[in-house]
Amino acid sequence: MSTYLVPVDFSKTANHAAKYAARLSWAMKDSKIILLNAYYVSDYEMLLPTPDLLVTTDDRIAEEVVKRREALDQLKNKLLEINPEADIEVSLSRETILRSIIEIVNRQPIDLIIIGSNGKKAKDESDIGSNAIKISKSSPVPVLVVPPKAQYQSIRKAILACDFKKVKEVIPMNALKNILSKHALELLVLNINSGEKINSNEDHFLHEMLRDFSPSYHYSDHPDTIKGIVQFAKAEEAQIIIALPKKYSFFESLLHESVSHRLTIKSHIPVLLLKD
């Protein structure tokens, strides 16, 4: 069974990601969805009134917990309309969203975390969406970032974007094999090192590493790395971009928030962030 963890805050962004997960679960059959909402109230919030001069009392917290549980159940019912056979669990945590995610991942096997990206026109629409990259960098399991307009499509073609010269350091093979083994797809490996060719030793190593997937190899000469990836994916009509958010990959630039948002904003298809 594949288990998908979907953090939600009841925004359009998060609900869109949840609906994507429901359609994915329909396609994958033996799968489970966990809808997670985090409601954290700090000691500071307990001492001071809110901007509208309301004091956060225990009674108000209890009322909010009930409202959130009801909202989770309502969202679950909407997902069951998409996939009536879906196995959906709801979870309300009183920790921060990141701590809540880590606790669930440590408690049970999670195959994929699915997060909605806010996109350019909804920058502040979802706290989860605005922190998608931070969550992905801290998550011990792969994270799928779903753009606002991305609709689920059967995954037939995937783009793996990496720097061929640093491939030894950046490809998490176990995670990659786990994902690709569940889909019969065409893998296109895109060199994002400014179109620079690699030498025969590097070429041999890369081909040996990815031999089981029978990929085709391509080079991007676009001066803007992210635009080059997105344009290539669009031209190839791919259904997913696979990227590597760790040191030495082009996702090292995710340390700069303005750059990190560009891929999830500009990409028209989901972006899968793999970890070791």
Residue 28 identity: M
Rg (CA), the chain: 20
Does one domain contain both 30 and 73? yes
Q: How would you write the pLDDT of the chain (276 residues) with one tens digit per residue?
A: 789 999 999 988 899 999 999 999 988 878 999 999 999 876 555 555 555 545 567 788 889 999 999 999 999 999 999 999 999 999 999 999 899 999 999 999 999 999 988 765 555 566 666 667 677 777 888 889 898 878 888 889 999 887 766 655 556 777 777 777 777 789 998 887 655 555 555 556 677 778 888 899 888 878 887 888 888 999 999 999 987 655 434 444 433 444 445 565 567 889 888 765
Taking the CA atoms of 237, 239, 242 and 245 in sequence, report the sign of the dihedral they define. Answer: positive
Taking the CA atoms of 233, 236, 241 and 246 in sequence, report the sign of the dihedral they define. Answer: negative
In a domain, 186, yes or no: yes
Contact predicate 15/75, CB 8 Å: yes
Does one domain contain both 59 and 30? yes
Residue 14, φ and ψ in degrees, nearest 5: -70, -40
Query: CA nearest 7: which of 108, 102, 109?
Result: 102
In a domain, 34, yes or no: yes
Q: Is 194 left (phi over 0), alpha (psi -120 to 50) or beta?
A: left
In a domain, 151, yes or no: no
Of 146, 170, 198, which residue is a domain's last? 146
What pTM, to 2 d.p., does this model score? 0.83
What is the tally of structural domains in the chain?
2
Domain of residue 173, CATH code: 3.40.50.620
**Rounded-to-integer distance, Cα 250 and Cα 242, Å:** 12
- The kind and range of the H/E element at 264 are helix 257-266
Does one domain contain both 6 and 71? yes
**Rounded-to-integer distance, Cα 120 and Cα 264, Å:** 9
Burial 141-160 (b: 16+ CB within 10 A, else e): bbbbbbbbebebeebebbbb
Does one domain contain both 33 and 126? yes
> Which tokens hold the place of 130?
């605005």
In a domain, 39, yes or no: yes
Does one domain contain both 47 and 77? yes
Of 146, 165, 198, which residue is a domain's last? 146
As a three-state string, the secondary structure of 127-191 is HHHHCHHHHHHHCCCCEEEECCCCCCCCCCEEEEEECHHHHHHHCCHHHHHHHHCCCCCEEEEEE
Of 122, 146, 170, which residue is a domain's last? 146
Does one domain contain both 90 and 200? no
Does one domain contain both 107 and 165? no
In a domain, 70, yes or no: yes
Structural domain boundaries enclosing 126: 2-146
Burial 47-76 (b: 16+ CB within 10 A, else e): eeeeeeeeebeeeeeeeeeeebeebbeebb
Q: Is 86 helix (H, G, I), strand (E, B) or coil?
A: coil
- The kind and range of the H/E element at 208 are helix 200-209
